[in-house]
Chains A and B, each alone.
Chain A
Amino acid sequence: MERSTGKSTSDGKKDMTRVMAFVFLVLAVSLILIGIYKEQMQSVLAKAVRICMECVGIG
């Protein structure tokens, strides 16, 4: 993806990579905010504070 021959590297590819990275970042932050709004952090906490029987191998 980022192979280059000095300054002859395709700027279009680099631009596309930048755009994709920013799109995914915006999407990620949006999903996190929606999740927080839907109180999903509480669900994560509720599961994480108890011993997960399946995880430790007795569930």
Chain B
Amino acid sequence: MDKKKNRNSINGKKLGIQAVAALIQNANFKGFFSGKLYTGPIKKVCVPGLNCYSCPGAVGACPIGSLQNFLGGLKFRFPYYVLGLLLFFGTLLGRLVCGFLCPFGLLQDLLYLIPFYKKNQFKIDKYLRYLKFAVLGIFVILLPLCIPLSPAFCKYICPSGTTSGLWHVFLNSSVRKQLGAIFQWKLLVLGIVIVSALIVYRPFCKYLCPLGAFYGLFNKFSFFRMHFNESACVHCQACVKACKMNVDPTKNPNSMECIRCGDCVRACPEGALHQGFIRPKTDASPVEEEA
């Protein structure tokens, strides 16, 4: 009972951190009422998570939108700055960004809390996981390179952009007049993501998010990482049952799918799992690696 209470309070803390991160990234509060975007200098910096820069509250730039803007310009420019930032976030944090800093991740976490039919494990799940790499390769990189001025991911998929669009639709009549088939399509995608998020844990992160795909590639090298002490493990499978991303931390603690939510760490009765930043190697602590 106490353990369950403790777990609930930790989940509450995690949601609190996610909410603070979402608020910081959308701190232009008056924009939510006026519909006017923030235009200050902070918007030169890309935020780590998926947060559309057309959201009235956004104070930073969207990394995926910015990347497509460089790749899909009339004159190709290598996206040094945006790619550097993505590499920086990925190397430092890996998919911890997805677990704690992404506003769209928070939205999905909240949706999954709603009591509804839940089915988090199904046969095609492991195949669908590859879809996000296709989205990254085709919609974020290839199509913008081939069709200039057309950020395909933003245009046809991004549900964060659609939620931003909904704000503008409510606040701006001129935007309302321009709505057409693309908006209806994006609304359908958003609807599917929202309904899926009631049933499956973080379906967008698992199957579609190009940022998740990119950061996932760095989970094995990132400074923030998982550590599994096999000698302490009693093979009770508590961590496997606790993981809503369907990762087995005893087999692959730094899996591309792990969003570092820490559910497995808390579930382990023997303390065999830890997560934290890599420490610089010193003579005093040759084995200890995690914070």
Is B truly associated with A?
yes
- Residues in chain B near residue A35, CB distance under 8 A: 79-84
A32–B278 Cα distance when bound, in Å, is 23
Is A56 a contact partner of B81 (Cβ separation < 8 A)?
no
Interface residues of B: mostly helix, strand, loop or mixed? mixed
Across the interface, name the chain B residue whose C-beta is closest to A17: B221
A9–B81 Cα distance when bound, in Å, is 37
Number of A-B contacts (CB under 8 A): 193
Is A40 a contact partner of B82 (Cβ separation < 8 A)?
yes
Across the interface, name the chain A residue whose C-beta is closest to B52: A55
Is A58 a contact partner of B178 (Cβ separation < 8 A)?
yes
Q: Give B67-84 interface residues, CB cut-off 8 Å to A.
A: 69-70, 77, 79-84
Residue of B38, B154, B179, B226 with most partner-chain A CB within 10 A: B154
A56–B200 Cα distance when bound, in Å, is 25
* Partner pick for B164 among A1, A36, A38, A55, CB 8 A cutoff: A55
Interface residues of A: mostly helix, strand, loop or mixed? helix
> Residues on B close to A: CB < 8 A?
37-39, 41, 43-46, 52-54, 58, 60-62, 65-66, 69-70, 77, 79-85, 87-88, 90-92, 150-151, 154-155, 158, 161-162, 164-165, 168, 175, 178-180, 182-183, 185-187, 218, 220-223, 225-232, 250-254, 278, 281, 286-287, 289
Could you list 29 A-B pairs, sorted by A, with CB under 8 Å?
A4-B230, A14-B289, A17-B225, A17-B278, A20-B221, A29-B88, A30-B84, A31-B80, A32-B81, A32-B84, A32-B88, A35-B79, A35-B82, A35-B83, A40-B82, A41-B44, A42-B44, A44-B44, A44-B45, A44-B66, A44-B81, A48-B44, A49-B39, A52-B53, A52-B154, A54-B151, A55-B53, A55-B151, A57-B187
> Residues on A close to B: CB < 8 A?
1-7, 9, 11, 14-15, 17-18, 20-21, 24-25, 27-36, 38, 40-45, 47-52, 54-59
